[in-house]
Structure 1
Amino acid sequence: METTNDIEIGQVVRSKAGRDKGRVFVVFDIIDDKYVLIVDGDIRKISKPKKKKIRHLIVYKTILNELKKKIINKEKFNNAYVRRALSPFNKEI
């Protein structure tokens, strides 16, 4: 079982439950020890991130450092940037 200490902003995750099952997302924000906000730039845009239980996610070791910096520093980026960053992971499916 994953602990919350293992999850970071900018980390790549895959949904393992719900209607978005199998989709790849990036952690946009950490709400508490059970929930995170995730985006993929496609069905889940930056303007409306999805609140998701951590236990419903497969957490990858990969952290998108460029995206993480942008989120933490509140820099502007768009949904296309998120989609581009996640494209290598979507090809795996």
Structure 2
Amino acid sequence: MDPENPISVADVVISTAGRDQGELFYVADTDGQFVTLVNGKNRPVEKPKRKKRKHVEKVLRSETRVAEKIRSGDKVLNGELRRDLASLSRAMQANNLGG
């Protein structure tokens, strides 16, 4: 865990270990050394993934509508998660390719 950049609810993280390595997730909950991850596809809201903090890396603190819904505890749809993470992924790839 990075003490200067702690992982909190509604942050976007990338998995650094395991079968889902390289995938983007929203943090749905935090609990000590574990985080609960959702992405709306293979990890829907109904069946989140519990993963150790050391196996994820914070990408950014998202300020999207979906992130606000997660923070406030409102119901989030899997389609919203998929769309949001896909657009973030495209933006990250464009930034990496652009320079």
TM bucket normalised to smaller: 0.7 to 0.9
Amino acid at match of 2:88: F
Say if 1:8 and 1:27, in contact at 8 Å, map to a contact too: yes
Structure exhibiting the larger radius of gyration computed from Cα positions: 2
Aligned length: 92
Structure 2 match to 1:55: 54
Aligned counterparts, 1:1-93, within 5 A: 2-3=2-3, 6-32=6-32, 34-91=33-90, 92=93
State percent identity of aligned pairs.
34
In structure 1, the gaps of 5 or more residues are none
**Alpha-carbon distance in 1 for matches of 2:3, 2:44:** 26
In structure 2, the gaps of 5 or more residues are none
Equivalent position SS for 2:50: strand
Amino acid at match of 2:17: A
- The Cα offsets for residues 38-62 of structure 1, whole Å up to 9 and x where unpaired, read as 0010000000100011111111133
Q: Give RMSD over aligned pairs.
A: 2.1
Higher relative contact order (CA 8 A, sep 6+): 1
Runs of 4+ in 1 over 6 A off after TM superposition: none
